[in-house]
C-alpha cells in the first residue's frame, strides 16, 4: 500500500472504530496506525478536510490492488466490530460498495 492509501485506511478505521467513544475503539485505531506506519496527525489531517474529500478517498481505495484491498478490508471490519454499532455497519457497507471491496470482487 502507498502512504496515501495507508492514511486513508487508518482514517476510515478511526471513523468505524468509534475512536472517541470506547477504549477498545482507540486500541484498534492505535494498532492499525502502528501496523500501517501512519501517525494520528496524518489521520487528523484527513478528518479535518472538507466533505468533498470523501470522494477522493473512495477513488484511491477503489484503485488499490486486490491484495491491498483485502488487507484494508480486515482493518475496517475489525474497527467496525470494535464499535459494534449499526451506524458503523452501515458506513462499512457504504465503503465496501463504493470501493468495490466485497468478497465477490476481491
The total domain count for the chain is 1
Q: Which domain holds residue 34?
A: 3-98
Provide the residue-wise pLDDT of the chain in tens; the chain has 106 residues.
899 999 999 998 988 888 777 888 889 999 999 999 999 899 888 876 666 778 888 899 999 999 999 999 999 999 999 888 888 889 899 999 999 887 654 4
d(CA 102, CA 89): 13
**Residue 86 lies inside a defined structural domain of this protein:** yes
Q: Rounded distance, CA 100 to CA 97, Å?
A: 5
103 in a structural domain: no
Residue 105 located in a structural domain: no
Nearest CA among 93, 101, 100 for reference residue 16: 93
Residue 75 lies in a domain: yes
Amino acid at each position: 500500500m502507498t502512504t496515501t492509501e495507508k492514511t486513508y485506511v487508518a482514517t476510515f478505521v478511526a471513523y468505524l472504530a468509534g475512536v472517541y467513544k470506547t477504549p477498545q475503539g482507540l486500541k484498534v485505531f492505535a494498532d492499525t496506525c502502528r501496523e500501517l506506519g501512519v501517525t494520528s496527525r496524518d489521520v487528523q489531517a484527513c478528518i479535518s478536510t472538507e466533505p468533498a474529500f470523501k470522494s477522493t478517498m473512495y477513488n484511491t481505495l477503489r484503485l488499490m490492488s486486490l491484495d491491498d484491498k483485502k488487507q484494508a478490508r480486515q482493518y475496517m471490519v475489525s474497527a467496525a466490530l470494535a464499535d459494534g454499532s449499526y451506524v458503523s455497519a452501515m458506513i462499512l457497507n457504504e465503503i465496501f460498495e463504493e470501493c468495490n471491496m466485497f468478497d465477490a470482487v476481491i
